[in-house]
Amino acid sequence: MNMNDLVFIVLGFITLLGAVGVVSFTNIVHAALSLVLSFLGVAGFYFQMQAEFLGLVQIMVYAGAISVLIIFAIMLVMDRDPNQTNISHPVNRWWGGLIALLFAGIIGFAIRESRFTGQAGSPDADRVGQLAELVLGNYVIAFEIAAILLLVAVVGAIILAKGAKEQ
């Protein structure tokens, strides 16, 4: 077992530990915080694959912003005993497990069947520049449409929160 495998196993353990925590903690704030742990583990995978930019985006957007949003929302609406807020449904938990297994099977099958032709670049390659050329070159329309979509969502959120004036 070389160093790379060891790092992979440790990161996988952290990610799975976080993911198991999300479903098994009965306190929903604890569940949200272990979601952060899981996000950080995934960011570690990106670093291991030398996709530093993606890893940092993962930390900033998922671990730093989205999870804060989730925790904020939870704290604002919670009015019960916090230790009883994330209890799994007595029947649906089995259905959920079944569906999760099914999806894991499909993804595993897809991974087994596909051919990965990509190769590792040199560690000093200017990956941010390459990414920028793709996003602002070949895929610029998709990129701009996503940006407009986000802008519309932000404007909509502000109107919903403030309440539009009646004409």
Partner 1 sequence: MQKIETLFVDLSDWFIAWLQSLGVPLAWADAILLLIQFLCIVGIILANITILIWLERKVSGFIQQRPGPNRLGPHGVFQTVADALKLLTKEDIIPSKTDRLIFITAPILFMTISVMLYIVLPMGKDMQVVDLNVGLFFFISLGSLTTIALLMGGWGSNNKWSLLGAMRSVAQMISYEIPLALSLMGVVMITGSLRLSDIVAAQDNVWFILLQPIAFITYFIAATAELNRGPFDMPEAEQELTAGAYTEYSGMRYALFFLAEYTNLVAVSALLSTLFLGGWQGPWLPSWLWIIIKTYLVMFLFMWVKWTFPRIRMDHLMAFSWKVLIPVTLVNIVATGFGLYIFKGIGG
When asked if residue 22 is in the footprint of partner 1 (CB under 8 A), the reply is no
39, 46, 26, 96: which is closest to 69 by C-alpha? 39
Which one, 107 or 155, has the nearer CB to partner 1?
155
What span, in angstroms and rounded, lies between the C-alpha atoms of 101 and 106? Answer: 9
How many residues in total does the chain contain? 167
When asked if residue 56 is in the footprint of partner 1 (CB under 8 A), the reply is yes
Residue window 72-91: x/- pattern of binding to partner 1, with contact defined by CB under 8 A: x--x----------------
Residue 46 half-sphere exposure, CB side, CA atoms within 13 Å?
16
When asked if residue 10 is in the footprint of partner 1 (CB under 8 A), the reply is no
Q: Binder to partner 1 among 7, 19, 71, 135 (CB under 8 A)?
A: 71
CA-to-CA dists, residue 104 to 5, 23, 45, 101, 111, angstroms: 22, 16, 19, 5, 11
Which one, 19 or 30, has the nearer CB to partner 1?
30
Q: Binder to partner 1 among 10, 99, 128, 149 (CB under 8 A)?
A: 128
- Judged by CB under 8 A, the stretch of 60-68, 99-107, 111-119, 145-153 that binds partner 1 is 60-68
- Judged by CB under 8 A, the stretch of 91-99, 106-114, 125-133, 139-147 that binds partner 1 is 125-133
When asked if residue 19 is in the footprint of partner 1 (CB under 8 A), the reply is no
Burial 37-69 (b: 16+ CB within 10 A, else e): bbbbbbbbbbbeeebeebbeebbeebbeeebee
Residue 119 is which amino acid?
Q
- Judged by CB under 8 A, the stretch of 4-12, 26-34, 108-116, 143-151 that binds partner 1 is 26-34
DSSP string computed for 61-76: IIIIIIHHHHHHHHHH
What are the residues binding partner 1 (CB under 8 A)? 27, 29-30, 33, 36, 52-53, 56-57, 59-60, 63-65, 67-68, 71-72, 75, 124, 126-128
